[in-house]
């Protein structure tokens, strides 16, 4: 009985670590206005607080996953939690932006270890149908922590100041480390006697860094062409370096990555699904939050509160996704989840108006939240199917890399779709406005420069200074933003369609991972 209890306590401990790590991805967005005041700087200067985490998180995933496979996943997971917790304290005490940026980068390394190894540890500590349930719960924690960030962030920042979003990780981290140490079963050190593939690690890190950084450049400069060398140069470098990485991995005796993973049709389907989920649903969160705060007038805390119909699904369905996967098949449940989310996106595109009422937004929140609550846990479980036990950590790392790349690509692609529709609508609106040319040109350019997220502030400033055409400007901006949001959700809908097709045609129904892992456990015993 004690062993049974410890296993579920272990799941709680690992979920706590994952929750802590992912919460800090979204919660920082809420704290940026307070940081700007305290550091006496602009939002553009604060961008690296976000970018440092995104970059280091992505480039560290494969490395920590491999180290976990080689030396024991529990050891590396605990070290990752300790690193994350210490970096969080440093961030809370940061006297300037440079220290905070560096602290966020270090924090991301710890976060990547917690994220990638938690799934592998759960798969190793559970067996049979319990494994599906446990992975489902972990997947739900992943979805819930991402969605609940604005609510928790708003609560902490408004009551205790921005450093509290980092200091709260200290007690949580200490508890999680203790519980993992006491209750999680260590995995074998599958490659402890092998030499570390330093070249592979370096190349994978540099290649991923170049690709993610190029996408971040595009995100921050939507009007730069893809052919601009400040973007294309990084993307070309990424492709070339990753090609060299593949060549090296095929030649070395103990490669960092077993490339046969990417010849497994089922696993390729899983990483495509992770990419589609990141690009279509996770990336959409930034645009939903912008709509609710900048155009609907909700505070950060109220925004998080009103997003609960989206985030609570993960908690409700988490314990049951494993059972549903066994009963109906993971591939069909994943496809169903993408369809449900797609219905929510399509519904919003049909009912959205410039009024931007919460009732219009509710179907989008409910159905994308329900879809995510089904998809995310099922993907985690499907990723473990037919994987050699000694490569589970790397498989988890790849899954998370593609999910992270999906989020980054999604933010860029959705932003381009929004910007194109927003600016086209502005052009039409000002052409038909009959405003004096000089005034129309100046305000039009100011709105283009501000972008869709901040256009409402420019329009409102016109009203505050009582210009005679202020109401007309506001109508133009609201119409343009609405058309931009419709394009955002329709672009996300394309990702949902890709997800449905990938699930149906690439995934296979198999339980071989259970047999392999359970057989491996019996051998150890």
pLDDT tens-digit readout, 163-211: 999 999 999 999 999 999 988 888 887 776 678 889 999 999 999 999 9
77 domain residue, yes or no: yes
Residue 511 has pLDDT above 90, yes or no: no
Same domain, 230 and 117: no
Whether the predicted pLDDT of 138 surpasses 70:
yes
Residue 387 forms part of a structural domain: no
Regarding whether 240 and 136 lie in a shared domain, the answer is: no
Q: Which of 157, 187, 217 is the last residue of a domain?
A: 187
286 part of a folded domain: no
Clarify whether residues 20 and 112 are in a common domain: yes
Q: What number is the average pLDDT over the span 222-247?
A: 94
C-alpha distance across the termini of the chain, in Å: 18
Residue 350 lies in a domain: no
pLDDT over 70 at 438, yes or no: no
Instruction: Let me know whether 165 and 80 are in one domain.
Output: yes
Q: Encode pLDDT of 47-104 as tens digits.
A: 888 889 989 998 999 999 999 988 889 999 999 999 999 999 999 999 999 999 999 9
Mean pLDDT of 228-251: 95
Confidence of residue 361 (pLDDT cuts 50, 70, 90): very high
Q: Does any domain span residue 401?
A: no
**pLDDT tier at 507, thresholds 50, 70, 90:** very high
Residue 521 is predicted with a pLDDT of 42
Boundaries of domain holding 210:
198-255
> Is 7 part of any domain?
yes
Average pLDDT value for the chain: 85
CATH number, domain with residue 141: 1.20.1250.20
Q: Which two tokens stand for residue 181?
A: 């140490």
The answer to whether residue 289 sits within a structural domain is no
**Residue 461, pLDDT score:** 60
Q: What is the dihedral of CA 364, 367, 369, 373, to 10 degrees?
A: -160
Q: What mean pLDDT comes out for the span 430-438?
A: 71
Between 339 and 31, name the one with better pLDDT: 339
- The verdict on 135 and 76 lying in the same domain is yes
Same domain, 144 and 221: no
Local confidence band at 417 (pLDDT 50, 70, 90 cut-offs): very high
**Of 147, 165, 187, which closes a domain?**
187
The verdict on residue 249 lying in a domain is yes
pLDDT of residue 453 exceeding 90: no
81 and 117 fall within a common domain: yes
- If asked whether residues 9 and 137 sit together in one domain, one would say yes
- The per-residue pLDDT for range 469-485, each reduced to its tens digit, is 777 878 888 889 999 99
- Of 153, 187, 221, at which residue does a domain stop? 187
Alpha carbon dihedral 171, 15, 22, 273, in 10-degree steps, equals 180
Q: Please give the Cα distance from 59 to 234 (Å, whole number).
A: 15
HSE value, Cβ hemisphere, 13 Å, CA-based, for 236: 8
The answer on 115 and 230 residing in a single domain is no
pLDDT value for 517: 46
Question: pLDDT tens across 257-311, in order?
Answer: 888 888 889 999 999 999 999 999 999 988 888 888 778 888 777 887 888 888 8
Q: What is the rounded average pLDDT of the residues 422-440?
A: 77
Contact 514, 131 (CB under 8 A): yes
Number of domains in the chain: 3
Same domain for 250 and 105, yes or no, is no
* Rounded Cα distance, 189 and 208, in Å: 26
Are 34 and 140 in the same domain? yes
Is the domain of 143 the same as that of 214? no
């Amino acid at each position: 009985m004690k062993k049974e209890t410890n296993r579920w306590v272990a799941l709680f401990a690992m979920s706590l670590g994952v929750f802590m790590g992912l919460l800090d991805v979204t919660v920082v967005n809420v704290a940026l206005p307070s940081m700007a005041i305290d550091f006496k700087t602009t939002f553009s200067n604060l961008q690296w607080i976000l970018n440092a985490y995104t970059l280091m998180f992505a480039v560290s995933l494969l490395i920590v996953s491999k180290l976990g496979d080689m030396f024991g996943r529990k050891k590396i997971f605990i070290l990752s939690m300790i690193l994350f917790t210490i970096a969080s304290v440093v961030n809370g005490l940061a006297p300037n932006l440079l220290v905070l940026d560096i602290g966020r980068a270090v924090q991301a390394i710890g976060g990547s270890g917690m994220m990638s190894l938690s799934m592998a540890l759960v798969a190793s500590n559970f067996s049979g149908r319990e494994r599906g349930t446990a992975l489902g719960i972990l997947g739900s924690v992943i979805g819930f922590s991402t969605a609940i960030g604005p609510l928790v962030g708003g609560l902490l920042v408004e009551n205790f100041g921005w450093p509290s979003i980092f200091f709260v990780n200290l007690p949580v981290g200490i508890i999680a480390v203790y519980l993992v140490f006491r209750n999680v079963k260590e995995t074998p050190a599958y490659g402890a006697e092998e030499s570390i593939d330093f070249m592979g690690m370096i190349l994978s890190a540099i290649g991923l860094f170049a690709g993610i950084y190029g996408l971040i450049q595009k995100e921050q400069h939507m009007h730069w062409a893809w052919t601009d060398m400040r973007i294309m140069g990084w993307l070309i470098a990424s492709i070339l370096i990753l090609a060299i990485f593949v060549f090296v991995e095929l030649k070395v005796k103990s490669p960092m990555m077993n490339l046969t993973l990417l010849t497994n049709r089922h696993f390729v389907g899983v990483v495509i699904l992770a990419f589609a989920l990141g690009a279509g649903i996770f990336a959409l969160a930034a645009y939903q939050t912008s709509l609710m705060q900048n155009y609907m007038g909700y505070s950060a805390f109220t925004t998080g509160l009103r997003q609960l119909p989206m985030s609570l699904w993960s908690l409700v369905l988490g314990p049951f996704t494993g059972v549903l996967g066994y009963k109906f098949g993971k591939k069909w449940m994943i496809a169903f989840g993408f369809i449900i989310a797609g219905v929510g996106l399509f519904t919003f595109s049909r009912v959205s108006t410039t009024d931007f009422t919460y009732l219009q937004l509710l179907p989008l929140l409910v159905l994308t939240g329900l879809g995510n609550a089904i998809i995310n846990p099922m993907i985690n479980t499907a990723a473990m199917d037919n994987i050699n036990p000694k490569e589970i950590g790397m498989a988890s790392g790849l899954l998370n890399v593609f999910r992270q790349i999906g989020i980054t690509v999604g933010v860029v692609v959705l932003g381009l779709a929004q910007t194109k529709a927003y600016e086209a609508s502005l052009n039409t609106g000002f052409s038909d406005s009959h405003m004096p040319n000089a005034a129309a040109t100046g305000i039009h350019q100011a709105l283009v420069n501000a972008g869709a997220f901040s256009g409402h502030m420019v329009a409102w400033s016109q009203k505050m200074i009582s210009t005679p055409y202020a109401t007309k400007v506001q109508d133009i901006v609201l119409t343009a933003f609405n058309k931009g949001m419709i394009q955002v959700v329709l672009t996300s809908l394309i990702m949902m369609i890709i997800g449905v097709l990938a699930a149906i045609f690439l995934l296979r129904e198999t339980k071989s991972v259970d047999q392999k892992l359970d057989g491996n456990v019996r051998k150890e015993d």
